[in-house]
Structure formats: structure tokens, C-alpha cells
Structure 1
Amino acid sequence: MTYAIRPAEPADIAAMNRLGSELGWHLTATDDNEDLLPLATADAAYVCVEEREIIGWVYCANRTGWEYRGIDRLLVHPAHRNQGIARALVQQVLDDFPHEEVLIAAWDRDLRNFYEKLGFRVDNHNNMTRLPRD
């Protein structure tokens, strides 16, 4: 399988939302700055594309003035799981913000090992957090 990670674009929103809807997420990406996940003001938003199909995406909301970057959504189509896509999407975020804390507040406890392999640790608020690199 060959896939590519690239920044999300407004033209990707419909496909991102289709995937989100298939996975039970009804509040997903938008091009409207007033909605929950506005693409235009995201700190980072990436899609994973295979043969022009979006098979995964990650979204980090803009938190101006906060001391961390937060991953708000990480979605991978079930048919493409366990192939390194989620790891590649999260790693892209970590590469973009190497000197900042990256936090995931709502995370699947079954994926603890996955996040820990990427350098995250459970903090005293039960969030997954990856501290800044020196």
C-alpha cells in the first residue's frame, strides 16, 4: 500500500466528513470558522490519501495562548488500520510542533501502548501528553 500524508485543504472537507460520519463522528471538519473544527484556523490538519481517497485524518484545533497543541480528531478507515497510518498522522503533528507539548484529552484506553510508543505519557489529569523536545 502506498499512501501520502499532506495538509488538509478545503476541498477535502466533504471526504473528511464522510469518513467521520462512517465512524460515528458527527461534528467534524468545516470551512466555517464558527463551527467546531474549522479547517481554516486549525493549528494542523492532515489527511492520509491513497489513490485520491482520504483514508485517515488528524486535526489540531487552534488554541492561541494555550501552552500545548491538542489533537482533537484522529480517524483512520477501519479497512486501513494497523498499517501505520495513525502513527504517520500523529508523527506529522509531532514533527510540526517539536518544541511544544502535544496533548490528547479524549483517547481510547485500548490504544495506550500505541501512544506511548510515540512518546506520549499519561499525565496527572489522565490526558495523553507528549512533552516538548529539548
Structure 2
Amino acid sequence: MTALALRYARSDDIDAVLSFWDEAAKGTSITDDHDGMARLLATDPRALLLAERDGVLVGTVIAGFDGWRCSLYRLAVHPDHRRQGIAAALLERAEQRFAEVGGRRVDAMVLESNESAHRTWAAAGYGREDHWRRWVKPLEESPA
């Protein structure tokens, strides 16, 4: 097996990442479209980390920092490449990034129904905070 390569996404990766998420990620977001991804990369070119093996996309994580909080989204590993340390490598790189910018705590968005993700996050040292709940209000209507 060849070495895992980690890199930051570029604008020409957007379509491949969106297709990858269709296959590898659970759930969707209102921002899972070309315009949303382009805004992410324009705002923070180091936010989207990609894992590749032999030039093939095998994992992603969004490591967003707004100057106040460190947030992780879209940790996804292709089903054919799971249990090979890819998620751990992505999280380690994301945490390094957060430490470099002075981050103090990391929050992760994890689907309540995704039991395998719960195990992955727990193995990486993350714990659930039951006293917080996410409240949301879409600013635009979600496409049908």
C-alpha cells in the first residue's frame, strides 16, 4: 500500500469532493454545492484537507477556524479505505493547524444516527457534550 498524501483542497477539486461526499459521507448540508465550496476555499484556503492514495481521493475533513473557535465538519473516508488510519491522519493534521493558529478547543459536527462515526471520534479522543444543542436557521431555502 502506498503512503497517504495529505494536502489542502484547491478550487479545481470542488467537483471531485462533492462526488466523493455523495459516496463516502452521511447526510447532506445546505452548503454542499459548488458555490458553497468555492466560498469556503476563497475565505480559508486551508480549511478543506484531502487525503489521497495513488492520486485517488480517499478522505476529507473541513477544519474551520473563525478566529474564535475550531470546528470540524465533513470527516469522511471512502468505504473501501476505512480502518486504515486515514481519519486519524486527517484529524491529526487538522489539530496541528488549529494549534498553529492558537486554537484552544475543537468542536466536531457528528450526525446523531451515525454510530460508526461516534466510535471514530471517541477513538480520536473526542467526547460528546450533552448539555449543548445545535440551533440552526437556514438563510436560504435548501434545493429540492
Question: TM-score, normalization: structure 2?
Answer: 0.70
Residue 93 of structure 1: SS of its match in structure 2?
helix
Distance 2:70 2:121 in 1: 15
Partner of 1:48: 51
Question: Would you say the 8 A contact 2:51–2:58 is kept in 1?
Answer: yes
Partner of 1:131: none
Distance 2:18 2:90 in 1: 17
Distance 1:48 1:20 in 2: 13
Distance 1:117 1:126 in 2: 22
Partner of 1:57: 60
Larger strand percent? 1
Question: Would you say the 8 A contact 1:58–1:73 is kept in 2?
Answer: yes
| Alpha-carbon displacement from aligned partner over 1:70-112 (angstroms, at most 9, x marks no partner) | 1121111100111111111111111111342111133434333
Partner of 1:76: 77
Larger helix percent? 2
- The structure with the larger Rg is 2
How many pairs are equivalent? 122
Partner of 1:8: 9
- Could you list the runs of 5+ residues in structure 1 that have no partner in the other structure? 128-134
Partner of 1:105: 109
Question: Would you say the 8 A contact 2:51–2:86 is kept in 1?
Answer: yes
Aligned Cα RMSD in Å?
2.6
Distance 1:76 1:110, change over 3 A: closer
Identity of aligned residues (%): 26
- Could you list the runs of 5+ residues in structure 2 that have no partner in the other structure? 135-144
